[in-house]
A and B are shown apart, each in its own frame.
Chain A
Amino acid sequence: AQSVTQLGSHVSVSEGALVLLRCNYSSSVPPYLFWYVQYPNQGLQLLLKYTTGATLVKGINGFEAEFKKSETSFHLTKPSAHMSDAAEYFCAVQNTGNQFYFGTGTSLTVIP
Chain B
Amino acid sequence: NAGVMQNPRHLVRRRGQEARLRCSPMKGHSHVYWYRQLPEEGLKFMVYLQKENIIDESGMPKERFSAEFPKEGPSILRIQQVVRGDSAAYFCASSPFRDNQPQHFGDGTRLSIL
Q: How far is A101 from B110 in the complex, measured between Cα atoms in Å?
A: 22
Please tell me if the beta carbons of A43 and B107 are within 8 angstroms of each other in the complex: yes
Residues in B with CB closer than 8 Å to A36 are: 105
Q: What are 23 A-B pairs with beta-carbon distances under 8 A?
A: A34-B103, A41-B108, A41-B110, A43-B4, A43-B6, A43-B106, A43-B107, A44-B43, A44-B93, A44-B103, A44-B105, A45-B105, A52-B100, A90-B43, A94-B100, A96-B99, A98-B97, A99-B56, A100-B33, A100-B103, A101-B45, A102-B42, A102-B45
Partner of A98, one of B6, B99, B107: B99
Q: How far is A105 from B107 in the complex, measured between Cα atoms in Å?
A: 17
For B100, the closest partner residue in chain A by CB is A51
Give B1-35 as 1s and 0s: 1 = Cβ < 8 Å from A's Cβ atoms: 00010100000000000000000000000010101
For B105, the closest partner residue in chain A by CB is A43
Q: Nearest Cβ in chain B — how far from A103, in angstroms?
A: 7
Please tell me if the beta carbons of B99 and A32 are within 8 angstroms of each other in the complex: yes
Q: How far is A32 from B103 in the complex, measured between Cα atoms in Å?
A: 12
A82 interface hit (Cβ, 8 Å): no
Q: How far is A13 from B100 in the complex, measured between Cα atoms in Å?
A: 32
How many residue pairs, one in A and one in B, have C-beta atoms under 8 Å apart?
Answer: 62
A46 interface hit (Cβ, 8 Å): yes
Please tell me if the beta carbons of B31 and A102 are within 8 angstroms of each other in the complex: no
B69 interface hit (Cβ, 8 Å): no
Residues in A with CB closer than 8 Å to B43 are: 44, 90, 102, 105
In addition to A34-B103, A100-B33, A100-B95, 20 A-B residue pairs with Cβ atoms within 8 Å of each other are A32-B99, A34-B102, A41-B108, A42-B107, A42-B108, A46-B102, A46-B104, A51-B99, A52-B100, A90-B42, A90-B43, A92-B103, A94-B100, A98-B31, A98-B99, A102-B35, A102-B42, A103-B42, A104-B42, A105-B42
Within 8 A of B (CB), among A6-54: 32, 34, 36, 41-46, 49, 51-52
Q: How far is A34 from B55 in the complex, measured between Cα atoms in Å?
A: 22
Q: Nearest Cβ in chain B — how far from A76, in angstroms?
A: 15
Q: Nearest Cβ in chain B — how far from A35, in angstroms?
A: 10
